[in-house]
Amino acid sequence: MNIDRRAALTGVLALFGAGVFAPIARAAQMTATQMIPEGPPSVAVFTPAQRALMTALSERVIPTTDTPGAIAAGVPAFIEKLLADWAMPEDRVPIVAGLDAIEARSQQDYKVAAAKATPAQQDALLTLAMNGQIAGGKTFFEAFRQLVITGYYTSEIGITQEREYLPVPGEYNGAFPYAQVNKVYSA
């Protein structure tokens, strides 16, 4: 199955409205000739410790349940590729600074690296960031959440397993019983 990630990115823009993180908006507006080729990021955005934390936190935003989570969908690689190849250097600042602030808070509160903290501790750290109780937390959290959601719902797993992919939806039935609705459809 060939899924057009650019088309999916355009659809995700509507979800975030005017507050969309700049690299996501840029990626959605690129034409086929401007697309950055597949493969590893052109530059390393994160240190190994930051990458481990970003990976762990992405799984906390979209955890594995009855469907695969962010890690299985390749969200961490998507985030680094997007920040390396579609973001301006200043776009990376809130993400990197936020990861560093979360790491410092984890060391302060739990005496453990944030990537190795328990899921409950990681959730607490993300909540502190979301509520602005960590330096730069609100800015980090909103941008990071958008990156995770975009990476997940533009991945093959997000489109085909979390949602039900129908390249040609079925017929219209205005009297379809709501109780029979299963998954939300995407095309």
Mean pLDDT score of the chain: 82
Specify the range with the lowest mean pLDDT, choosing from 18-27, 60-69, 128-137, 171-180: 18-27
pTM of the predicted model as reported, rounded to 2 decimal places = 0.74
Q: For residues 55 and 74, give the distance between their C-alpha atoms in angstroms, rounded to a whole number.
A: 10
pLDDT at 74 over 80: yes
Q: Which residue has the higher pLDDT, 138 or 185?
A: 138
For residue 154, what are its two tokens? Answer: 């533009």
**Helices and strands: H and E segment counts in the chain:** 8, 2
Q: Where are the domains of the chain?
A: 5-166+178-186
Percent of the residues in the chain that have a pLDDT greater than 70, as a whole number: 70
| Res 86: pLDDT | 83
Nearest to 3, CA basis, from 167, 185, 168, 169: 167
Task: Identify the burial level of 42 via C-beta atoms within 10 angstroms of its C-beta, where 0-12 means exposed, 13-18 middle and 19 or more buried.
Answer: exposed
Task: Identify the burial level of 124 via C-beta atoms within 10 angstroms of its C-beta, where 0-12 means exposed, 13-18 middle and 19 or more buried.
Answer: middle
For residue 35, what are its two tokens? Answer: 């697309």
